[in-house]
Structure formats: C-alpha cells, structure tokens
C-alpha cells in the first residue's frame, strides 16, 4: 500500500496523530479551530452591521476595532487577524479586493464567494471598479467617491454599508436579514425589497 491509495479519513487520522505526537496540535485544538471556522458566516457580519446601525456606541467600537466589536457579539475571533471596518457614507463607498491572493474576513463573513478569488474580479476591482459595480447592478450617486481597498497584508477588511431608507422602525434582526456578503465586500448595497 502507498500513501496515494489510502483513503482520506485514514490519512487525516494519521496526520492528526503525528501532529499530536510531535506536540504541534492536539485533537482538541483542531476541533476548536474547526468550530471557529464553521462559526464564520455572512450572518455574523450582518449582525454586526445591524447592531452598528442601531447602537452608536457599538458603531464607534466597530470602526475603531472590528475584532473587539465582533467578540462582543460572541463571534469567535481568537487567532483571527485584525479586522478593519470601512464605513460607507453618502460621500464615500468602499470596495474590497485582494489582488495578491484571497485575503477575506472569514471570522465574520465565512468562505468568500466563488468570484472573489477569480483573476477577473481581482484585476477589474482595481482597474475598472465602476464598470465592475455596474455589472453587479450597483450604481453610486455621482457625488459619491469610490475607494478600492486592496487587502494585501495583515488586516482583513469588511464594509459597513449605509442603512437603507425606509427601515427606521425595523428591529436589529430584521435589519440583519437585509445584509448580504456582497454588501460587506462593497459590490452591492443593501436594499429594501
């Protein structure tokens, strides 16, 4: 039998045993990491956005230190890179890309959409961001400047979108249901159906 003919489960168990034997990673540490990874979904980021729309103190914390704000909502952030939050305003819209690879705020947004890592998205987000937004169906007012944020190093970036008009009396949970991954990347904006 060679390593190529072993099934995945056998290989995985062997690797876990070697990591434990060499005191690199214990099974409980691996289980904890899997739990943290599974906890990351766009719904977590949406909870943060909705709370920021309703709670000015949380908004201030989130803009200053995204990871602390996430931790306040019991989102697991241990071992996660610093989280930067980019505040959209009437004057400035943010669009996030990682031209070098695939940096993405997984702790709060989960796995990136399939197109986020594509060469086309990465090239066009920096070269033709307005054209790219148009293809996502997003049109910015002429008075709104566009800032592309290329995520090249140790931070991970998420966008805090503008709260849509007509949601003044909505609960946090209702607001969170409006917010999708694309809104927190900046390719789309939350809208009331």
Partner 1 sequence: MSLAPGTSVRVKADWPELRGRCHIRTPHYVRGETGTILRHLGDFPNPEDLAFARPAAATPLYHVRFDQPSLWGEGAPGDDIVIELFAHWLEPL
Contact set with partner 1 (CB under 8 A): 82, 84, 99-100, 126-130, 145-155
Is 48 or 97 the residue whose CB approaches partner 1 more closely?
97
Does residue 54 carry a catalytic annotation? Answer: no
In the set 54, 68, 98, 171, the catalytic residue is 98
List 102, 118, 171, 177, catalytic entry: 102
Minimum CB–partner distance for residue 3 and partner 1 (Å): 24
**Residue among 68, 101, 118, 171 flagged as catalytic:** 101
Toward partner 1, which CB reaches closer, 9 or 154?
154
Shortest separation between residue 99's beta carbon and partner 1, angstroms? 5
> Is the CB of 72 or the CB of 140 nearer to partner 1?
140
**What string of H, E and C letters represents the secondary structure of the chain?**
CCHHHCCHHHHHHHHHHHHHHCCCCCHHHHHHHHHHHHHCCHHHHHHHHHHHHHCHHHHHHHHHCHHHHHHHCCCCCCCCCCEEEEECCCCEEEEEECCCCCCCCHHHHCCCCHHHHCHHHHHHHHHCHHHHHHHCCCCCCCCCEEEEEECCCCCEEEEECCCCCCCCCCCHHHHHCCCCHHHHHCCCCCCCC
Question: Which of the residues are catalytic?
Answer: 98, 101-103
């Amino acid at each position: 039998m060679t390593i190529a003919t072993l099934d995945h489960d056998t290989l995985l168990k062997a690797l876990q045993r070697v990591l434990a034997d060499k005191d690199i990673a214990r099974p409980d540490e691996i289980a904890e990491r899997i739990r943290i990874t599974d906890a990351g979904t766009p719904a977590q980021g949406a909870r943060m956005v909705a709370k920021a729309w309703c709670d000015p103190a949380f908004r201030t914390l989130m803009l200053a230190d995204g990871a602390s704000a996430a931790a306040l909502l019991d989102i697991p952030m241990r071992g996660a890179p610093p989280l930067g939050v980019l505040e959209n305003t009437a004057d400035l819209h943010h669009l996030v890309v990682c031209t070098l690879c695939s940096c993405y705020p997984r702790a709060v947004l989960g796995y990136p959409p399939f197109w986020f890592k594509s060469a086309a998205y990465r090239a066009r987000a920096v070269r033709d961001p307005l054209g790219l937004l148009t293809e996502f169906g997003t049109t910015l007012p002429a008075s709104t400047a566009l800032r592309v944020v290329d995520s090249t190093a140790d931070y991970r970036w998420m966008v805090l979108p503008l709260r849509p008009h007509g949601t003044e009396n909505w609960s946090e949970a209702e607001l969170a249901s409006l917010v999708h991954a694309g809104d927190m990347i900046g390719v789309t904006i939350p809208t009331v159906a």
